């Protein structure tokens, strides 16, 4: 089954692709360019890995341009739809140890739990709370999840160049009965290598978040965006996430991606 | 009873120098607080308190199966709520807060679906946010009743299961009591003219045991729990040694708990419920049920939690007790917060007794100052009747300023 990171062409997909870092690919595909769903599926297929680990360096620029810096470590087991991920903050000192577990499902939205060591409690992030910003960044909780490609309808919106590279512009909408904070999303996928380079996420007709992926490098055969910039247009704030020490196919255990494991400090 | 574990403390502090960064992490902070009370009380004329707390915690992952955690607290204050003796405490049985305390020191073994934690550790049960009737392995420091802090316990804990179902077994060989207000200070609320003394407390021997089954489903989470041991909150014996002079003795009644909790995300809100029924073989302890029902929601930069806590006493036996958990029942409980920006937030917590005889509210503003510093200002308002658990502290409304450096 083909699966898509996030909502395919939507913020979830975008940021998820960003955060979980799996969506960048080489140039060997042979498919019909006008088949939006296939393009998204192929884009994701090329980013598959058994696991992924990276250290994230975040800079949050508030509306007044004040900068707040954070660091986290991300571990992900599996790819697309059925994957599991733990993001654990390592800086600043006062949030060190705060962690988020994301358990993705192919047929529905993910389950998420947040661990706060200062109070020694884990808390499930309810579906209706997923539009909330994730710990002061411009990524929402929903942006951190993956969803199966079958949860969305895709349509080709045309072609457009991003930074001089020809791209397909594809729109995705959640299928009926599938919940999302976003009414629709648009993704720009490069024609030459099937790498998604920009996402725009809409609530009704209003653009609310934009994700731009830059500094694309080949890491262990997987094209990987090393810098992701998420802009919250409502708050007029943005977060730049830089991925460092990216590694794929690191040995990981399924038992390390449970609520029980989330409570461990490292 | 004080025990010195200087060797353990040195182990904690020395750990960082010896280990590699990728399997070792540490964190901590130094915080100084100033607390001002506008009113005096009959047994405490002090109106300004200064406190300082240094906390250091270290974590070392030996391999994929073994992990170790250690932490230490060092405290000082101006109001003698902190013991002046420079001794390292392990069991938290001191009347005052110890100047040096092993906050945690434990080893974790995790293999497949089994996790075992041995040593001094924090164990939290329950799903509600303001009051947790099933949280039986979490004694608290109630020296300042409304600003309590959890205490670690010495325990062996084994958890078995995957993501959907887990069984949690806890065995506690050493009883850790909650720390109650000092008799010569404002939170004990001793009437004027009465000389109160304390006899050595009677700590229970034997061990405590608990078991909890937790299920995580696609629609809801729920659990069932059982506890057999002693209440960490005391009852009191009184002896009148001369007119208007009384000696009190703390003792800790046997307790058995049958409890459950659930969290159910609905379309607009998450409903959380938690309830427990308590029985006791101690003839002076009540038998009763505590329950909490709450709704919570996050929306944008806001979060809201609101609910009701109640109790049903099936057999009333106790005369003199100290029970903040029951004191917060028959009350509407609420918490709301707003994140102003990445560095600033404001929060409000409140408890309103159903009969209107007691009210507690705390408004807090917090601001990060750069990467390491945080300043917090809080106002706590307490109102009510003398006869009410909250109302009895009506002269203890206060303001607090705190400055923390985290590393």
Q: What's the pLDDT band for B300 if we cut at 50, 70, 90?
A: confident
Helix (H) or strand (E) holding B14: helix B6-18
Look at residue A64 and tell me whether its pLDDT is greater than 80: no
Of A62, A258, A264, the CB nearest to B342: A62
Look at residue A14 and tell me whether its pLDDT is greater than 60: no
Share of chain B above pLDDT 70, in %: 95
Identify the residue with better confidence: A82 or B368: B368
Give the residue from chain B lying closest to A108, CA to CA: B218
A163 neighbors A185 (Cβ within 8 angstroms): no
B125 neighbors A121 (Cβ within 8 angstroms): no
The CATH code belonging to domain A11-259 is 2.50.20.10
Minimal C-alpha gap between B203 and chain A (Å):
26
Count Cβ atoms below 10 Å from residue A164 Cβ, excluding itself.
5
Q: What is the pLDDT of residue A94?
A: 86
Q: What is the pLDDT of residue B4?
A: 43
Distance between CA atoms of B116 and B215, rounded to whole angstroms? 19
Distance between CA atoms of A257 and A264, rounded to whole angstroms? 11
Q: Is the Cβ of A258 closer than 8 Å to some Cβ of chain B?
A: yes
Does A90 sit within 8 Å of B300, measured CB to CB?
Answer: no
A207-244 per-position pLDDT tens digit: 999 999 999 999 999 999 999 999 999 988 999 999 99
Minimal C-alpha gap between B217 and chain A (Å):
10
Q: What is the pLDDT of residue A266?
A: 65
Contacts of A118 (CB under 8 A, 6+ apart): none
| Distances in whole angstroms, Cα of residue B81 to Cα of each of A162, B183, B200, B236, B365 | 64, 11, 18, 21, 25
Q: What is the pLDDT of residue B2?
A: 42
Count Cβ atoms below 10 Å from residue A1 Cβ, excluding itself.
10
Give the mean pLDDT of A195-208.
Answer: 94
* Of the candidates A103, A154, A46, the residue with the CA atom closest to the CA atom of residue A260: A103
Does A264 sit within 8 Å of B67, measured CB to CB?
Answer: yes
Q: Is the Cβ of B106 closer than 8 Å to some Cβ of chain A?
A: no
Distance between CA atoms of A252 and A50, rounded to whole angstroms? 9
B375 neighbors B367 (Cβ within 8 angstroms): yes
Q: What is the pLDDT of residue B98?
A: 97
Q: ipTM value of the model?
A: 0.84
Beta-strand relationship, A84-91 and A67-77: antiparallel
Does B371 sit within 8 Å of A91, measured CB to CB?
Answer: yes
- Copy the structure tokens of residue B176: 């850790």
Distance between CA atoms of B242 and B239, rounded to whole angstroms? 9
Give the mean pLDDT of A125-148.
Answer: 87
- B263 chain-A contacts, CB cut-off 8 A: 124
Helix (H) or strand (E) holding B103: strand B100-111
Instruction: With H, G, I as helix, E, B as strand and everything else as coil, classify residue A175.
Output: coil
DSSP A147: B
Share of chain A above pLDDT 90, in %: 54
Q: Would you mind telling me the total number of residues written for chain B in this entry?
A: 407
A104 neighbors A110 (Cβ within 8 angstroms): yes
B396 neighbors B43 (Cβ within 8 angstroms): no
Distance between CA atoms of B37 and B22, rounded to whole angstroms? 46
Q: Is the Cβ of B124 closer than 8 Å to some Cβ of chain A?
A: yes
B3-47 per-position pLDDT tens digit: 444 444 444 444 444 445 568 999 999 999 999 999 999 888 899
Query: Distance between the two ends of chain A, CA-based, in angstroms?
Result: 34
B42-92 per-position pLDDT tens digit: 888 899 999 999 999 999 999 989 999 999 999 999 999 999 988 999 999
Minimal C-alpha gap between B255 and chain A (Å):
24
B123-170 per-position pLDDT tens digit: 999 999 889 999 999 999 999 999 999 999 999 999 999 889 999 999
Write the DSSP string, B364-380. EEEEEETTTEEEEEEEE
**Residue ranges of domains in chain B:** 6-406
**Residue ranges of domains in chain A:** 11-259
Instruction: Please state the pTM of the whole predicted model.
Output: 0.87
Minimal C-alpha gap between B113 and chain A (Å):
6
Does B25 sit within 8 Å of A265, measured CB to CB?
Answer: yes
A35-47 per-position pLDDT tens digit: 899 999 998 888 8
B227 neighbors B208 (Cβ within 8 angstroms): yes
Rounded-to-10 torsion of CA A67, A68, A73, A78? -70
The CATH code belonging to domain B6-406 is 2.40.160.100
Give the mean pLDDT of A97-108.
Answer: 90
Minimal C-alpha gap between A258 and chain B (Å):
5
Q: What is the pLDDT of residue A170?
A: 95
Mutation for testing the B interface, residue in A124, A177, A257 having most B CBs under 10 Å: A124
**Cα angle B267-B271-B274, degrees, rounded to a multiple of 5:** 165
Q: What is the pLDDT of residue A80?
A: 76
């Amino acid at each position: 089954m083909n699966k898509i990171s996030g909502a395919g062409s939507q913020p979830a997909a975008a940021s998820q692709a960003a955060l979980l870092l799996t969506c960048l690919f080489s140039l060997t595909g042979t498919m019909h360019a006008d088949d939006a769903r296939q393009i998204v599926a192929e884009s994701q297929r090329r980013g598959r890995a058994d696991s992924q680990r990276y250290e994230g360096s975040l800079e949050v620029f508030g509306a007044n341009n004040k900068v707040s810096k954070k660091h986290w470590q991300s571990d992900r087991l599996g790819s697309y739809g059925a994957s599991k991920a733990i993001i654990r903050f390592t800086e600043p000192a006062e949030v060190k140890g705060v962690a988020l577990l994301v358990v993705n499902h192919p047929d529905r939205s993910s389950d998420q739990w947040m661990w706060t060591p200062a109070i020694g409690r884990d808390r499930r992030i309810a579906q209706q709370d997923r539009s909330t910003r994730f710990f002061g960044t411009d990524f929402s909780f929903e942006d951190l999840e993956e969803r199966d490609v079958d949860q969305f309808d895709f349509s080709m919106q045309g072609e457009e160049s991003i930074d001089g590279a020809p791209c397909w512009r594809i729109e995705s909408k959640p299928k009926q009965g599938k919940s999302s904070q976003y009414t629709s999303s648009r993704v720009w996928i490069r024609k030459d290598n099937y790498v998604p380079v920009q996402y725009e996420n809409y609530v009704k007709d209003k653009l609310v978040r934009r994700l731009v992926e830059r500094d694309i490098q080949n890491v262990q055969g997987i094209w990987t965006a090393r810098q992701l910039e998420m802009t919250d247009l409502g708050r007029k704030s943005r977060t730049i996430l830089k991925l460092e020490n990216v590694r794929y196919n690191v040995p990981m255990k399924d038992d390390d991606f449970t609520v029980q494991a989330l409570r461990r400090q490292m | 009873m004080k025990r010195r574990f200087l060797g353990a403390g040195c182990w904690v502090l020395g750990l960082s120098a010896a280990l590699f960064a990728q399997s070792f992490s540490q964190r901590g902070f130094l915080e100084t607080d100033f607390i001002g009370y506008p009113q005096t009380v009959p047994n405490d004329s002090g109106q300004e308190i200064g406190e300082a707390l240094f906390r250091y915690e270290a974590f070392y992952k030996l391999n994929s199966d073994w992990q170790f955690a250690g932490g230490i607290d060092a405290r000082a204050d101006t109001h003698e709520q902190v013991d002046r003796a420079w001794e390292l405490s392990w069991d938290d049985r001191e009347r005052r807060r110890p100047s040096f305390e092993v906050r945690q020191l434990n080893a974790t073994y995790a293999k497949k679906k089994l996790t075992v934690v041995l040593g001094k550790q924090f164990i939290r049960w329950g799903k509600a946010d303001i009051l947790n009737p099933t949280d039986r392995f979490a004694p608290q420091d109630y020296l300042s009743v409304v600003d309590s802090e959890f205490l670690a316990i010495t325990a062996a804990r084994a958890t078995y299961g995957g993501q959907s179902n887990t069984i949690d077994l806890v065995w506690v060989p050493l009883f850790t009591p909650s720390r109650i207000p000092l008799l010569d200070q404002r939170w004990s609320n001793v009437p004027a003219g009465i000389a109160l003394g304390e006899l050595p407390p009677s700590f229970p021997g034997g061990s405590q045991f608990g078991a909890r089954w937790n299920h995580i489903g696609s629609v809801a989470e729920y659990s069932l729990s059982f506890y057999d041991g002693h209440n960490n909150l005391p009852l009191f014996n009184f002896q009148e040694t001369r007119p208007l002079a009384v000696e009190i003795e703390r003792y800790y009644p046997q307790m058995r708990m049958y409890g459950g909790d659930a969290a159910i995300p609905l379309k607009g809100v998450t409903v959380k419920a938690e309830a427990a029924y308590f029985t006791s073989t101690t003839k002076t302890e009540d038998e009763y049920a505590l329950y909490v029902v709450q709704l919570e929601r996050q929306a944008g930069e806001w979060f809201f939690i609101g609910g009701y806590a109640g109790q049903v006493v099936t057999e009333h036996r106790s005369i003199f007790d100290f029970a903040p958990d029951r004191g917060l029942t028959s009350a509407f409980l609420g918490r709301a917060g707003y994140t102003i920006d990445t560095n600033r937030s404001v929060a409000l917590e409140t408890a309103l007794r159903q009969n209107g005889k007691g009210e507690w509210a705390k408004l807090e503003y917090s601001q990060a100052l750069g990467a390491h510093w945080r300043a917090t200002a809080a106002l706590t308002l307490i109102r009510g009747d003398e006869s009410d658990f909250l109302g009895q502290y009506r002269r203890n409304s206060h303001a607090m300023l705190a400055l923390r450096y985290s590393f």
